[in-house]
Chains A and B, each alone.
Chain A
Amino acid sequence: DTGVSQDPRHKITKRGQNVTFRCDPISEHNRLYWYRQTLGQGPEFLTYFQNEAQLEKSRLLSDRFSAERPKGSFSTLEIQRTEQGDSAMYLCASSLGQISYEQYFGPGTRLTVT
């Protein structure tokens, strides 16, 4: 089953360091989403790509966050100068876009900032 995969699954970093996460969507899916989820909350939208174009970005997303999807396949999410408040689960999801809005989620990357 070639579902959505994310790497790494866990990341512990010190405050002030930069971290980068990778998401590999289902191969034929043209839409890719990043979410952040903290304990007791639902996923919070961060950004969305259609193919390689980043079409939407949450207003809540700090300038320290950047995402890319260079060839319309895998995507990376980078957090610069991490803060303790960045500790969360970062989820990636992909979908076929207008054919189906159903999003398939990956297992997530759990970030702990110490």
Chain B
Amino acid sequence: AQSVSQHNHHVILSEAASLELGCNYSYGGTVNLFWYVQYPGQHLQLLLKYFSGDPLVKGIKGFEAEFIKSKFSFNLRKPSVQWSDTAEYFCAVNAPNTGNQFYFGTGTSLTVIP
């Protein structure tokens, strides 16, 4: 089974700081990659996704992620965070050739200090 690792469990940043959250997965074949966000009191929503093509994908609210196949990574970035970005961030992987299961990381809690 695939696994997803998010090494940053808690991140605290000041507003306007740059953000990078790490995500590594274990599967060597074709993958679909996702970042989901959960704002306080809300349910999970999609931030961005990668299926194929340009490895640099852009999502909502100024977020982007880069797929680096050789490193099995899909790190999330934002050049300047805002207080409203305070949330839990989850990386997820689906390997379509092996089934329809989605594997989520343990999440990274981001706190942005005004």
Contacts and interface: CB of A to CB of B under 8 A. Distances in A.
Contacts, number: 54
Please classify how large the interface on chain B is, using the bins under 10, 10 to 19, 20 to 34, 35 or more. 20 to 34
Q: Which of A31, A33, A45, A58 has the largest number of chain B CB atoms within 10 A?
A: A45
B15 to A, nearest CB: 26
B52 to A, nearest CB: 12
A92 to B, nearest CB: 10
B104 interface: yes
Given A42-B90, A43-B90, A101-B32, A33 B102 contact: yes
A42 B45 contact: no
A33 B102 CA distance: 9
Nearest to B99: A56
B46 to A, nearest CB: 5
Interface of B: 4, 6, 32, 34, 36, 43-46, 49, 51, 90, 92, 94, 96, 99-107
Interface of A: 31, 33, 35, 40-45, 48, 50, 55-56, 58, 91, 93, 101-108
